[in-house]
Homo-oligomer: A and B are copies of this chain.
Amino acid sequence: MIDKRITSVEEAVRDVRDGASVMIGGFGEAGSPIELIHALIDQGARGLTVISNNTGSGRVGLAALIAAGRAAKVVCSYPRSANSTVFPELYRAGRIDLELVPQGTLAERIRAGGAGIPAFYTPAAAGTRLAQGKESRRFGEREYLLELALTADVALVRAERADRYGNLTFSKTARNFGPLMCMAARCAIVQVRHIVDAGAIDPEAVVTPGLFVSRVVHVPAPAHESRLVREGAAYP
Q: What range describes how many residues of A lie at the interface?
A: 20 to 34
Q: Are A108 and B117 in contact (CB under 8 A)?
A: yes
Known: A169-B204, A202-B205, A204-B170. Is A139-B119 also a contact (CB below 8 A)?
Answer: yes
Say how far A230's CB is from chain B's closest CB, in angstroms. Answer: 28
Say how far A231's CB is from chain B's closest CB, in angstroms. Answer: 31
Residues of B near A142 (CB, < 8 A) are: 118
A-side interface mostly: mixed
Say how far A170's CB is from chain B's closest CB, in angstroms. Answer: 7
Residues of B near A121 (CB, < 8 A) are: 117-120
CA–CA, A146 to B149, complex, Å? 15
CA–CA, A112 to B118, complex, Å? 14
The reply to whether the CB of A81 lies closer than 8 angstroms to some CB of chain B is no
Q: Which residues of A (167-225) have their CB < 8 Å from a CB of B?
A: 169-172, 202, 204-205, 207
Query: What are the 3 tightest A-B residue pairs by CB atom distance, in nearest-first order?
Result: A118-B139, A120-B120, A205-B205
